[in-house]
Amino acid sequence: MRCPVCHKDNDRVVDTRSSDDGGVIRRRRECCNCGKRFTTFERVEVTSIQVIKKDGHRAPFDREKLRRGLERACWKRPVSADQITTLIAQVEGDVNSTFYSEVASRFIGERVMSYLRELDQVAYVRFASVYLRFSDARDFAQELDDMMNNSKNKLPTPEKKSKK
């Protein structure tokens, strides 16, 4: 892996960690040239997967668009760029382990929200209010209520694999 500081391709791995479900591998690396430490994330490639929007339109999975949405939701919140990267990788891992060629945008939104809820509740509410476009204030209050009641619950398991 090329060093982000001195750009030499000569590093050693000092630590390797897997997310709880094994969907993401995080490696801490040290440049053998300048000593800088940096982190890489390893996940299954899902760029070829098509996302089916609510209107039936299909588009390739767009990781950067998801990242921008998450960065907006996490604005001025104690969520690091690494945590956002890990969250995206976890969502991609879920998508990839559940679907082969297409996935409903709804599935992605729900996975993002369930991880974000564990990470930061303010960011979760921001993301959910944009994503779900709460139709009225009562829906939003209900969602907040559910969130407070369920915040200690474990993440729901992804839906079953559907072969295409």
Site residues (CB under 5 A) for Zn ion?
3, 5-6, 31, 33-34, 36
Closest to Zn ion by CB, 6 or 59: 6
DSSP 8-state secondary structure symbol assigned to residue 136: S
Q: In what order do the strands lie in the sheet with 58-60?
A: 58-60, 50-52, 102-104
Scan for tokens 């476009």, then name that residue: 133
Closest to Zn ion by CB, 33 or 129: 33
CA-closest candidate to residue 19, choices 124, 71, 72, 90: 90
Six-digit token pair at 154? 């474990």
Nearest distance, CB of residue 151 and Zn ion, angstroms: 42
Closest to Zn ion by CB, 31 or 95: 31
Closest to Zn ion by CB, 7 or 58: 7
59: buried, middle or exposed (CB in 10 Å: 19+, 13-18, 0-12)? exposed
DSSP helix/strand/coil, 55: coil
Given a contact cutoff of 8 angstroms between Cβ atoms, the answer to whether 98 and 106 are in contact is no
Nearest distance, CB of residue 31 and Zn ion, angstroms: 3
Closest to Zn ion by CB, 10 or 18: 10
Nearest distance, CB of residue 25 and Zn ion, angstroms: 22
Nearest distance, CB of residue 34 and Zn ion, angstroms: 3
Nearest distance, CB of residue 109 and Zn ion, angstroms: 39
